[in-house]
Amino acid sequence: MAVRNVHERRIAAPPERIGALLDGLASEDDPLWPVAHWPRMRLEPGLAVGATGGHGPVRYTVVAYEPGRQVRFRFTGPAGFDGHHELTVRPADDGTALLRHTLLLVPHGPARLSWPLFFRPLHNALIEDALDRAERSGTGTVARPARWSPYTRLLRTAARAARRGRAPR
């Protein structure tokens, strides 16, 4: 079962402005990643081909980076995630920007269950939150803000409880 998961947003802003958000990924003041509600994206030594890192339990290596236009990450974890995800910024015909996140994945072993039951709903919510940040940055507002499903809220609550249970006392 191959997975192709695409999220995109046309933003009424110049592609260069939205591309600059992409270039700030994993920086201290990351303007794109929704750090208020999700684990911070970290890359060592920073956004560049060969950098390693991830967010939460998801690990990856940067395998392609074209400033202002595209960054691709190859999954290195969790186990069974064989594929990549990428963010691209493209100019639209009307001078606006098209920001797209594409995930291509062939799950193996436990990922055949963990992707659809756990990772996919959280991934979808995180990416829509990032697209909201991009739209707000580009236009000053968000026309239709993303909303988390009840299932996503349940998963986030369970994940928080699990982290607290493992935390040193």
What is the spatial distance between Cα 52 and Cα 50, in angstroms, rounded to a whole number? 6
pLDDT tens digits for 30-51? 999 999 999 999 999 999 999 9
CB 128 within 8 A of CB 162: no
In a domain, 156, yes or no: yes
Domain CATH number, residue 19: 3.30.530.20
The predicted pLDDT at position 166 comes to 59
Residue 115 DSSP code: I
DSSP 50-80: T-EEEETTEEEEEEEEETTTEEEEEEEESTT
The predicted pLDDT at position 105 comes to 97
Burial category of 138 from C-beta neighbours within 10 Å (exposed 0-12, middle 13-18, buried 19 and up): buried
The predicted pLDDT at position 160 comes to 84
pLDDT < 70 regions, the chain = 166-169
The predicted pLDDT at position 167 comes to 47
In a domain, 169, yes or no: no
In a domain, 168, yes or no: no
Residues 6+ apart with CB under 8 A from 142: 132, 135, 136
Please give the structure tokens belonging to residue 148: 């988390």
Best CA proximity match to 71, nearest among 108, 121, 18:
18
**Measured between alpha carbons, how far is residue 40 from residues 6, 85, 90 in Å?**
21, 16, 25
Q: What range does the domain containing 36 cover? A: 3-160
If one counts the domains in the chain, the total is 1
What is the spatial distance between Cα 35 and Cα 2, in angstroms, rounded to a whole number? 29
Best CA proximity match to 69, nearest among 103, 116, 28, 22:
22
Q: Is 103 in a helix, a strand, or coil? A: strand
In a domain, 166, yes or no: no
The predicted pLDDT at position 161 comes to 87
The predicted pLDDT at position 168 comes to 44
The predicted pLDDT at position 162 comes to 83
Please give the structure tokens belonging to residue 49: 């081909």
In a domain, 72, yes or no: yes
In a domain, 41, yes or no: yes
In a domain, 167, yes or no: no
In a domain, 151, yes or no: yes
